[in-house]
A and B are shown apart, each in its own frame.
Chain A
């Protein structure tokens, strides 16, 4: 089994948190579907790997879960963001934006700018 690089793992967690932030309470399939929709096929994850990640986030206290009934009347486990998760999302979003901005600046530099 090939381990996913850490960046991707970290990003996936961030995506899960953001998704839950956007749509509120959601079950695993819904989260996977939404991530797929937003990222297109760019992020071709094995959707099953989402579940260990959800468990980890739950252990860390960022999300909470409970059984409920889905839109087509099936028993499903629903995940929602906790207060701690919301805070975490905020900090991580800020960090991510900062990093992205710095990287973007590096990519935008042209040789003549440095002269």
Chain B
């Protein structure tokens, strides 16, 4: 008799569901892929339905349901904070009480009602323990230091764990508590730079490469690396703990200069275009601020990792939490940090909490030993061929069923300069497209990046693209030995040798780095075959790979999503599991809108 465990993350951002059968992940997906609302936080009803369908089981077959945090402990933190910040929290308190007393506090009942699992079969795992488990218990390592850094969980914002092969598998070592938070510091600067919190952090990381850390001194005044190996913030500059919508007090703007308005043109010295001198100067100030906070974050991660190494005495570090998605910081950890091995959960944000909670229940609560199965990311839905053809026929798209020949044809398209939508096999777990729901292009074109940003993804032109490469072709990327595992999931931005960089300008960021994915042939056989064939045709087994979505939208889920995104973008051709689809029929008005 198999044991089925459903892990769930929900109610804040990135709701997800993960289904384990006897400790093995059989299905995992984020709710946003079904509802098409990016970072959808609602209970993952559709993701759960799909997981159960994928495993051919019913709700009644579930043995355990594990929620990824402890709601009462979180509520305690919220009330305590509102009290401690009286009277400044007068606007937050009613909102918090309304939201919690009206909804979030009764999560157990909602889980029982929605998923039909008996109340005694519902478990709650601490937020940071869920993250830690998603990193350590999914990794191949048996001993490790585990570092979690995000916005906030219940109380912890950064936590250190000792991972071992014996129950309880993860022991808490130390934690930094609310309101001092690496994730929220980065988010506050994200907001200051005119981007949406929880969405624009990648843009700040991309923007940082255009600047120099000239404002590091100011950042050092608001964020301190402590002698005990931790950090603290000067909370006079921040208000996320008492203001309902804002992250920073006016003191921050007084220190860093005025907030950048959303949509303001970004034309730093490295890509001035035809901007005026004033716009260039202002853009450079923004880039320098981004570079300064990025530099501080990297130093903080190294500082924390140094403490982890000294305290736990192991050569392996596992990472999770939203901060672990900062690919530039991860590179420095791999290159300069004290660890020989680095393993990062690909879904390091809150979605990964669903996975960690389920793994923790199986191993730590139910007492089952670790298994030796490698962690895979192709855990999401796959399209049914019959349904795909039916939809294509009904919508009037012209297509060819190519099957195995699709790889060669795709290479012809790529070499001809076409930009492809590429849907292959099961969808990836985590925010990165790794060759299953990707937009692909030949990285050799000098104008390809600009074209894909403006005409296809409809997003800001300064944002970089990532390369995918076979292991044989990866020599030109200066990956530290410790970065080998994270690079398989596109979690490290590494410098690129100048000679190679000159050949693939579309995937080289302004600072000469690239967030490379070294493609594992066992994990992504079809994508690896495409890269190899492209390498045979061009001498470079490297492709531009970006997620198959438009700005502000989730990565495509269903075949209809793929076709709708295809229709609205400037993509030249779409491949759906061996079917080559041409530009949409004339009845669809698909005038794409370029971003400013």
A and B from one complex: no
- Interface set of A (CB-CB < 8 Å, partner B): none
